[in-house]
Amino acid sequence: MSEPLDALLIGRNIRDLRTRQGMTLEALAVAIERAPSQVSALENGKRAPRVIQLQQIATALGVSLDALLTPEPLSDRSSKELEIERAQRNGMYASLGLPEMKLSKGLSEGVLDTILGLQKEVERLHLLKAATPEEARRANSALRQEMREVNNYYADLEAQAKELHALIGHTTGPLSERLTAELANKLGFTLHYVSDLPASTRSVTDTKNGRIFLPVRREGREGRDPRTALLQALSAHVLKFSEPTNYEEYLNQRVQSNYLAGALLIPESSAVPFLTQAKEQRELSVEDLRDMFAVGYEVAAHRFSNLATVHLDIPVHFLKVHESGTLAKAYENDKVAFPTDVFGAVEGQIVCRNWSARRVFSIDDRFTPYHQYTDKPSGTYWCTSRIQSSPQGDFSISVGTPFASVKWFRGRDTNIRHRSECPDSSCCREAPAELTAKWDEGVRPVPKINSSLLAALPRNGILGVDQREILEFLEAHEPTN
């Protein structure tokens, strides 16, 4: 895809070419049969130029279209002026309520440097102020919209996974721990399992000495796959991530590294034929995908959501819900309505008690998949759910699809069915009138204090990791020659 035209840069180039030729604004306007005010708007970058207009301007100025679109390198002063103009066009400057500043030739270089310095400091303070849960939720909402538009499938990351598989000669089936370690070695890293890994990290990569530190494996932790943390660390290296400067970058990096790790664990070339055959037999099952590739249920559910729509033509939704009912992760392209806050974010919202993701917690049998139909305001959906334990508590992992697509799945014959009217508060959040009348004046609960309310901002940047602890850790493990 070609880059969009930079209206401000092209406008400045038009003005420079015109003045160098001694042509007035009015003369150029006459030559292209436009009003002088329209030409002025183009030169000031306030109107995006159309290609046909650029061709007319190039002809009037006696230059090629390429010369108009690829200006000569700007002088140091012009670069500063352009940066100041750009800053005045963004929403942050508008929110300050300041008038637009005209940049005249009489302004000295020192004044321009001062203006730029002030602008950068305002931007820094704005980012600091914006580093809140609200900003994170907005970034999450935007990312979820992007994932929906591409059906949660990223072809470039699939191609990257294929190249990495080729690097170690992996062609089909599960990716073994041996091959995972070999991939790290091929990428220039040695692995070191330690008992003192900083508590705020899942792994630490020492790029200076080509070493990756991972926690000593503790048996018996359900859902902990020793390959996952290593593959995520390798993915961040392969994708050349730098330290994120805002939540949007952080979330995008996390999604990309998780996606690439999942694509390495469950190769597209093996998974698609496996799922296609299961669909033909009307036996699609997340459990089978998990068992086929020897991964955790959450990894299998995530990977199924990557491949289901693009390769199987099945719209899906995915949820990870804490035992408290709080939604931790979600994705959908099947128009199911997740609970949202005023920013449109779903993370942290409470899922309806009648959804499969909540009902599964009441089932004693944790070995058998739980299947349920739910009649929702947006239609009837079928869902399969499982519970996964972690140090943070129990979570349900759910994959669902609209009623029209359930014919392809094992478990479609369940007779469990519930109705949800959420977000209508009378569905499961509002107490019945008789209970409210009886207990309205007779109850005084003491809520748990949510620690995030007391520390909304991470103290150590976007990642929230303890930088000093990490550097002291690396210093303690510095190799001696």
241-271 tens-digit pLDDT: 888 877 788 889 999 999 999 999 999 999 9
Contact in structure between 205 and 238 (CB atoms under 8 Å): no
Please give the pLDDT value at position 134. Answer: 67
- Average pLDDT on 207-229 reads 77
pLDDT band, residue 446 (cuts 50/70/90): low
Cβ-proximal residues to 268 (8 Å cutoff; 6+ apart), any chain: 158, 161, 162, 307
Please give the pLDDT value at position 454. Answer: 42
Does pLDDT of 212 surpass 70? yes
**Total-model pTM:** 0.69
Please give the pLDDT value at position 37. Answer: 85
pLDDT in tens, 96-111: 777 777 777 778 888 8
* The CATH number fitting domain 139-265+440-481, selected from 3.90.1010.10, 1.10.1060.10, 3.40.630.30, 1.10.10.2910: 1.10.10.2910
pLDDT in tens, 150-172: 999 999 999 999 999 999 999 88
Percent residues over pLDDT 70 in the chain: 84
Tell the CATH topology of 7-69: 434 Repressor (Amino-terminal Domain) (1.10.260)
Does pLDDT of 198 surpass 90? no
Contact in structure between 4 and 11 (CB atoms under 8 Å): no
Distance CA 454, CA 67 (A): 57
- Average pLDDT on 360-389 reads 92
pLDDT in tens, 274-294: 999 999 999 999 999 999 999
Please give the pLDDT value at position 456. Answer: 43
- Average pLDDT on 61-72 reads 80
Distance CA 133, CA 131 (A): 7
Q: Which stretch, 2-11, 24-33, 142-151, 283-292, has highest mean pLDDT?
A: 283-292
pLDDT band, residue 332 (cuts 50/70/90): very high
Please give the pLDDT value at position 455. Answer: 43
More confident residue, 478 or 54: 54
More confident residue, 235 or 429: 235
Q: Report the range of poorest mean pLDDT among 307-321, 408-422, 460-474.
A: 460-474
pLDDT band, residue 375 (cuts 50/70/90): very high
Cβ-proximal residues to 254 (8 Å cutoff; 6+ apart), any chain: none
Q: Which residue has the tokens 């100025």?
A: 61
Please give the pLDDT value at position 481. Answer: 65
* Residue-averaged pLDDT of the chain: 83
For the chain, the distance separating the N- and C-terminal CA atoms, rounded to the nearest angstrom, is 49
- Average pLDDT on 113-129 reads 74
Please give the pLDDT value at position 116. Answer: 82
Element (H, E) at 230: helix 226-238
CA 166 vs CA 162, 170, 293, 428: distances in Å = 6, 6, 18, 51
Please give the pLDDT value at position 364. Answer: 86
Distance CA 307, CA 271 (A): 8
Cβ-proximal residues to 362 (8 Å cutoff; 6+ apart), any chain: none
Domain boundary assignment for the chain: 7-69, 76-130, 139-265+440-481
- Average pLDDT on 365-388 reads 92
Alpha-helical segments (H) within 393-466: 433-439, 451-454
More confident residue, 113 or 315: 315
pLDDT band, residue 453 (cuts 50/70/90): very low
Please give the pLDDT value at position 222. Answer: 45
